[in-house]
Amino acid sequence: GVMEKLGLGPEILLQENPSLIYARLTGFGQTGKYAKSAGHDINYLALSGVLSNLGRKDENPYAPINLLADFAGGGVMCALGIVIALYERATSGRGQIIDASMVEGVAYLSSFLWKSQKFGFWSRPRGENLLDGGAPFYEIYRTSDGKFMAVGALEPQFYEQLIKGLGLDSNELPIQMSISDWPEMKKKFASIFAQKTQAEWCSIFDGTDACVTPVLSLNDATSHQHNKHRRSFIKNDQGDISPRPAPLLSRTPAVPSCERDPFIGEHTEEILLENGFTKQEIAKLHSDKIIGFSKPKANL
């Protein structure tokens, strides 16, 4: 209801411009019991049902920072809704209102959880299944230098290369999918990984299909050979590093800006002037605390 209080609700604006696409991104959506309640990523993730599946065995569910509901279920799904509405408008000429709920966005993003239940992927308690830390061949292991290696050797042919790289003989081990042996196998793998540094394990597994890769810090990711080759990260004129826009399009790739990120409100006046507001109107909006300004300060 915030935009309605400003006289800028979708019903008003769509009357003036019927082709307008009006996106409303909220945690709980525009209707329902929690529609007007405060919340954050962890709350939306909880209500979606997804949070109950995240976490280690015998531990509380774990929220992975705020990427899933805020950015994936919220920002990305809302942006997708805008793209869909633009595509539809090309045919109908009409706009519409997008009700983007982070709860529903992250739930839909996680459709795999619902669709795969009947296949037994999630038949065991949290942390004991194939993809949530239960399997020894889909796990993260600490190395002797306190770093980590990520293992994702699901398919038999990849698992065999993992076993070979660890210096083990598959004929002397339980079969890969013997769930009752997974706890002991995890202990065995952990003991072996702890005997070498991350760099040493990379020298063993790089170039193989064992699906074993280093767990890189943000700093290390930017300097990794693979990412450097693809120019996956960019540096702005202040020396700040960030990911290059993705995905990469062949004919019209994004051209990233190397300028620093703008301050919030830095271009408010400039944009309003471009859209026909007078300086007096802008000053009134500012004095009424509807808009804000933020100008960079000189470092003298």
Give the tens place of pLDDT for each residue, 29-69: 999 999 999 999 999 999 999 999 999 999 999 999 999 99
54 and 152 both lie in a single domain: no
What gap in Å lies between CA 275 and CA 297, rounded to an integer?
26
Q: Dmax over Cα atoms in the chain, in whole Å?
A: 82
69 and 26 both lie in a single domain: yes
In a domain, residue 66? The reply is yes
What gap in Å lies between CA 80 and CA 109, rounded to an integer?
12
Nearest to 295 by CA among 260, 264, 272: 264
3-state helix, strand, coil in the chain (%, to 5): 45, 10, 45
In a domain, residue 224? The reply is no
**CA angle 221–226–227, rounded 5-degree value:** 45
179 and 111 both lie in a single domain: no
In a domain, residue 25? The reply is yes
Nearest to 138 by CA among 194, 191, 170, 176: 176
In a domain, residue 65? The reply is yes
275 and 184 both lie in a single domain: no
105 and 142 both lie in a single domain: no
Domain extent, residue 189, equals 138-215
Active site residues per annotation: 40, 70
In a domain, residue 157? The reply is yes
- Helix or strand or coil: residue 10? helix
Task: Please identify, among 89, 119, 149, the residue that sits at the C-terminal boundary of a domain.
Answer: 119
Residue 295, pLDDT > 80, answer no
7 and 114 both lie in a single domain: yes
The pLDDT assigned to 299 comes to: 52
Structure letter (DSSP) for residue 288 = T
Could you give the number of structural domains in the chain?
Answer: 3
The pLDDT assigned to 118 comes to: 86
Q: What is the DSSP string of 61-119?
A: ----TTIIIIIIIIIIHHHHHHHHHHHHHHHH---EEEEEEHHHHHHHHTHHHHHTGGG
Q: What is the pLDDT of residues 82-129, one digit of tens each?
A: 999 999 999 999 999 999 999 999 999 999 999 998 888 888 999 999
104 and 164 both lie in a single domain: no
The pLDDT assigned to 5 comes to: 83
Residue 291, pLDDT > 70, answer yes
